[in-house]
Structure 1
Amino acid sequence: MSTWSIAGTLPVEPAAARPDLVAEPVAKALAGVTAPVGIAEIDPDLADTAEFCSAYGSPLSASANCVVVAGKRGGEVKYAAVMILATTRADVNNVVRRRLDVRKASFAPMVEAVELTAMEYGGITPIGLPDGWPILVDKAVADSPELVVGSGVRGSKLLVTGAFLASLPGAEVIEGLATEAI
């Protein structure tokens, strides 16, 4: 995609041209990707979704958040990335817990999520996650023609298609993974 209608006021470049604007594991994962992936440099203080959308004129409905979930069963901890639209909430206690086959699931502590992903908090993305992690993608995310997601750092955002996220290694599209936020 050469132009991104959701970019608001941001100039967007091909992500391949700016590996300096993404976390190291993201740069490695994007190497050789032929799908259209755009990148826009932003003020790191405006990386949180609501502030980003307000400052740059990007629609909230086109932002997808990646949350790291941890679950335990029998002393073993399992991790997953959950991709939901910013206007929704992940069903961690039911859908995610069952998918991970754990007794209890919750958002991973910030320090743990940052350490395990080698990405900055507020910029974690499903692109370049540790091998073997499931990426649970809400169907609404997978069906989106354009999305803004994290880049692994707070100083930029990636522009991708839902189909690209659904095609990532370990990705699984799940109907009903998220519910509308009230």
Structure 2
Amino acid sequence: MAHYSLGTLETTAALSRPELLATSTAEYLSRFSAAAEVGVVEIDPEISDTASTMESYQLDPQILVNCVIVSGKREGVERIAACLVPFHKRVDINGVVRKRLDVRKASFLPRESAVELSGMEFGGITPIGLPSEWPILIDAEVLQQPLILIGSGVRKSKIILPGQVLEHLDGAEIVDDLGKVVSN
């Protein structure tokens, strides 16, 4: 079962703690073939952003993965995708994502829309349980990590799972160079 230790965090099986998951995340996991590999851990919701989580729980930045929601329009129809990139990268929105969505211009979905359409809390959005029509674009580097930390759909917890599990999500697409390394 999904019992992992990362930094000062210790997980329990995600399905054993549905109160720590967004409703859509728990529902998706209840039918997900790899659910046994998904762990959840409660955190302080005031420090749920990635940088604060890393510092507060002594986490290696290599295991932190951000999920951002990007949109663009084509012929008046909005096209939305979830994008997963390692913490040290930024999503190539107007390169890779724009081309994948086949739109003239792509941008981050506004916070209010992301929350409303995903049914998840800002700062906790996860690819697990998003609307089925949204593609989930995953930077290939994410799959190389033995364990990663992502949102749970709510700010009071995080999910820890092997990176390779994400490729089994409905709508998952592995994308080389989805993210660009952030220079300091």
TM-score normalised according to structure 2 size: 0.95
Deviations 1:120-158 (A, max 9, x none): 000000000001110000000122211000000000000
Partner of 2:10: 11
Rate the CA distance shift 1:25–1:3 in 2: closer, same or farther, 3 A. Answer: closer
Q: Does 1:20 find its partner at 2:38?
A: no
1:95 to partner: Cα distance: 0.2
Partner of 1:123: 124
Aligned length: 181
Alignment of structure 1 residues 78-93 onto 2, 5 Å: 78-93=79-94
1:161 to partner: Cα distance: 1.6
Q: Distance in 1 between matches of 2:178 and 2:10?
A: 32
Partner of 1:56: 57
Q: Distance in 2 between matches of 1:100 and 1:53?
A: 31
1:33 to partner: Cα distance: 3.2
Partner of 2:111: 110
Instruction: Give RMSD over aligned pairs.
Output: 1.1
Identity of aligned residues (%): 47
Q: Distance in 2 between matches of 1:152 and 1:98?
A: 27
**Secondary structure of 1:33 counterpart:** coil
Q: Does 1:67 find its partner at 2:68?
A: yes
Amino acid aligned to 1:27: A
Deviating beyond 3 angstroms after TM superposition, the runs of 4 or more aligned structure 1 residues are none
**Secondary structure of 2:66 counterpart:** strand
Partner of 1:174: 175
**Secondary structure of 1:132 counterpart:** coil
Amino acid aligned to 2:4: W
Structure 2: state its 5+ residue gaps: none
Q: Distance in 2 between matches of 1:9 and 1:131?
A: 34
**Secondary structure of 1:93 counterpart:** helix
